[in-house]
Amino acid sequence: MPIVNYLHTIVLSKYWNTNQWQSWADRLIICNDNLEEWVYDVAIAKSREELLLAIAHEKTIEIFNKETLYWEPDVVIGYYYLMFQESRIKLSELFEKLFDEDDASNESEFFDSQEAKCILNQARKDEYNLEKIDKILPPFAKIAKKQLEALQHYIS
């Protein structure tokens, strides 16, 4: 299971903050006697940059299979939607994040959709269609939830 890649994605999306990834690693340390070095590095990482450096090597050697293969930009968008559903960000912030992803020439499937382009164009005019968002973003959130569950139940 590409748990380090999942960790990278959840941190990249800012769904997890420093306290959350440290608590996750601390729980692994408390519950397991034999852990890989990167888990200890995650536990003491004080910033996103430190965490990303701590997992960089393991991230590149981690193996994917058909069940765990995913496209990171799609999952990042899924985490944004989860944050919105959990009332951690407002609708306007969700769109700001989507605009930022779109501006960065993101390769997410979301931006290939004609419906998504229409939704974003309306939002640029301050017309937010929550019904359409709730129709198009759940598949992305489903993948993010699956990865979140894998992280929460991970035992090295």
pLDDT tens across the length of the chain (156 residues): 789 999 999 999 999 999 999 999 999 999 988 899 999 999 999 999 999 999 999 988 887 666 667 778 889 999 999 999 999 999 889 988 888 776 555 667 777 777 777 887 787 787 878 888 899 999 999 999 999 999 999 875
Residue 152's identity, in one-letter code, is Q
Spans of all domains in the chain: 3-68+146-152, 72-144
CA pair distance 31, 121, nearest whole angstrom: 49
Q: What is the pLDDT of residue 29?
A: 95
Nearest to 15, CA basis, from 6, 3, 28, 4: 6
Nearest to 83, CA basis, from 15, 8, 145: 15
CA pair distance 123, 58, nearest whole angstrom: 39
Q: What is the pLDDT of residue 65?
A: 63
What is the pTM (predicted TM-score) of this model? 0.81
Q: What is the pLDDT of residue 126?
A: 79
